[in-house]
Amino acid sequence: MVPSTRSVVFLAVSGLVLASVAGIGQGDSGLPPVETLAQSTPLFAFQSRGNRGALVFIRSGNAQEYDPRIFVATSDGWRLIQAPDELHNTSWVFIGRALAGNEIWGITQGTIGGPGPTLLFVSSANGGRTWRLRSVLQKVSRFAVVDTFSVNEDGKGTLILRLDDDPSPDAPRLGFYVYLTKNGGRNWSEAIYSQGKPLPQAFLIPADRSFDGQQPLDAGGWQRLFADLQPAG
């Protein structure tokens, strides 16, 4: 049964632009400072392709206090892009890159003003240097995971959550829950239940690499990852 209440939560700050912090930069090697890397756990990464630079999406902090951030490859090294306080204690659960151009979409998850986990949708139009918070959406179940997400150039998109298990006594039906947007993720429809997985057209490329998010890399591991994603020359 599809929940009767609307699943969309609106933010007054939905137009907020998440500014990059250009001053958080690099040592002489062009890499982020060692202390920054020590507090960073990789979650998703894109390789450089043509004029589109490499990206690493990370969780920064510790188990109690953490933030979703991004390492962006630039002509003079790697820069750390910070998210604002509104995304504090949320973590990346999906990243997708447009088939062409510099648009990137991300989804973080946290518990924000509701009884269960909430998804926050952000996008970047300039290759990850600045980000715009689009909207938030309360999940149908804390056990539901992001299965598919896609948005086209006209702003029409689909989010599919998959629910494989929920031990709570009032659990929704297992299966798939589909949400639709017509305005670039600013608003979402109510959940549409489907027993089988729908197959919407793909407009976003998933990350080239994903990580289990359990352990930060050591300094050598970060250097190897950066070199693999953005080869010299």
pLDDT band at residue 194, thresholds of 50, 70 and 90? Answer: very high
Total count of domains within the chain:
1
Average pLDDT over residues 7-19: 39
Q: Is residue 212 part of a domain?
A: no
Average pLDDT over residues 204-226: 90
pLDDT band at residue 12, thresholds of 50, 70 and 90? Answer: very low
Q: Is residue 140 part of a domain?
A: yes
pLDDT digits (tens, 9 = 90+) for 15-38: 344 444 433 555 445 788 899 999
Does position 9 have pLDDT exceeding 60, yes or no?
no
Q: Is residue 38 part of a domain?
A: yes
What is the model's pTM? Answer: 0.86
| Whole-number pLDDT of residue 26 | 53
Average pLDDT over residues 65-91: 89
| Whole-number pLDDT of residue 111 | 80
- Higher-pLDDT residue of 216, 179: 179
- Closest to 217 in 3D by CA, of 31, 75, 23, 84: 31
Average pLDDT over residues 38-60: 94
| Whole-number pLDDT of residue 10 | 35
47-61 burial: b if 16+ Cβ within 10 Å, else e: beeeebbbbbbbbbb
Q: Is residue 201 part of a domain?
A: yes
- As a whole-number percent, the residues of the chain with pLDDT over 90 amount to 64
pLDDT band at residue 90, thresholds of 50, 70 and 90? Answer: very high
Average pLDDT over residues 45-72: 93
| Whole-number pLDDT of residue 73 | 93
For tokens 């939560």, what's the residue?
A: 9
Does position 211 have pLDDT exceeding 70, yes or no?
yes
Q: Is residue 40 part of a domain?
A: yes
> Which neighbouring-strand residues pair with 148?
160
pLDDT digits (tens, 9 = 90+) for 110-147: 987 655 689 999 999 999 999 989 999 999 999 999 99
Average pLDDT over residues 224-230: 93
Domain of 199 in residue numbering reads as 8-206+217-229
Query: Roughly how many angstroms between the first and final C-alpha of the chain, as a whole number?
Result: 55
Q: Is residue 185 part of a domain?
A: yes
User: Average per-residue pLDDT in the chain?
Assistant: 85
Average pLDDT over residues 159-171: 95
Q: Is 132 helix (H, G, I), strand (E, B) or coil?
A: strand
Q: Is residue 114 part of a domain?
A: yes
Q: Is residue 1 part of a domain?
A: no
| Whole-number pLDDT of residue 47 | 94
Which amino acid is present at 130?
Answer: T
Give the DSSP per-residue string, 78-115.
EEEEPP-GGGTT-EEEEEEEESSSS-EEEEEEE--SSS
Q: Give me 216's structure tokens.
A: 């930060």
